[in-house]
Amino acid sequence: MSSPANESGASLAGRRALVTGGARGLGLAFAGALAAQGADVMIGDIDPDLVRSTADLVRRGSERGVRVLVDRLDISAPDDVARGVEHAATLLGGIDIVINNAAVVRVTRPLDDDLATALADFEAVVGVNLRGTYLVGRAAIPYLVERGGDIVNITTDHVHTCGYPIEVDHTEAQLCRWAHTRRPPLGGAGFDVYDASKAGVQALTRAWSRALAPAGVRVNSFGMGSTDTPMLRAHLGDQPLAPGTMNADDVANVLVELILDGRTGDDVTLWPGHPCRLGPLGLDGTLMASAQ
């Protein structure tokens, strides 16, 4: 279990977190970082190997005096979301942090795929990434408003790049492949449905941050580029990791910093080859703050 860098000395002790898609990779790292800071955590995932893949984190959480629980949760199914969120709130004694991490990635071919394939890809990707995020958030909001809390919606560096909407300085990011060319807001020709789903999550974050602010609920989006996870390594096969690929525990530590920071309505993104740290309030957060 990693120990997030936290110069303020603040912790998440007493907080109750639901992490979707937490069986492996970044989701598991997010759950570990939250537990390391004292939060009780429910991990929801459809992975059939969920219990085994999280066993070490469950054990280490118990040793630290925090609860790490697991539950099979299909966020694309409304009834299962309602059951899973209620189950998490019952076992944890409430919910005041939601990490909407579960996602599906499919590479699509707009010039070659037939309509049936395109429809299946759309239903699978949007059904989890956007609809599922919406369902979990809406199911959890009644618990979050009880004493305030945080929703962090996981997006991608495809829709908030180091070149868009504001060009990022690359003095400390010479390993970034876009260090000498301004990066456009997209992942590539094969990510039409995926990028659309994540752009929708970004828009949902903005609306929720405004709507939930009076109840003391903060809502931010958190995107990241290539991170060393089992999924990435499986995709690469025998290919080596690209220079600047991020570490999952480092990314998870920034997630904890974001929650402790107290901002809302912001769009925080980490890019490969850039310093893996929480930056100052961005454009979205600044505009949100000025509108309150």
Distance (Å) of CA 126 to CA 134, 224, 227: 11, 19, 22
Structure confidence by residue, pLDDT tens digits, 51-86: 999 999 999 999 999 999 999 999 999 999 999 999
What pLDDT is stored for residue 10 in this prediction? 72
For residue 41, give Cα distances in angstroms to 3, 9, 116, 117, 159: 15, 20, 39, 37, 29
pLDDT at res. 291: 84
Q: Could you say which residues of the chain have pLDDT below 70?
A: 1-9
pLDDT of residue 281: 96
Question: Residue 234's pLDDT is what?
Answer: 86
Question: Which stretches of the chain are assigned E, i.e. beta strand?
Answer: 16-20, 40-45, 68-72, 97-100, 149-154, 217-224, 227-228, 246-247, 267-270
Neighbours of 123 (CB within 10 A): 13
Task: Write down the pLDDT at residue 6.
Answer: 52
CA nearest neighbour of 269 among 126, 149, 173, 138: 173
Largest CA distance in the chain: 55
Strands 267-270 and 217-224: parallel
List all residues 6 or more positions away from 236 whose beta carbon is below 8 Å from its beta carbon. Answer: none
Measure the CA–CA gap between 147 and 89, rounded to whole angstroms: 13
CB 103 within 8 A of CB 161: no
Bond from prior residue into 165 cis (ω within 30 degrees of 0): yes
Give the pLDDT score at 8. 53
Give residue-wise pLDDT tens across range 193-237: 999 999 999 999 999 999 999 999 999 999 999 999 988 888 889
Domains, the chain: 16-291 (3.40.50.720)
Looking at residue 1, what is its pLDDT? 52
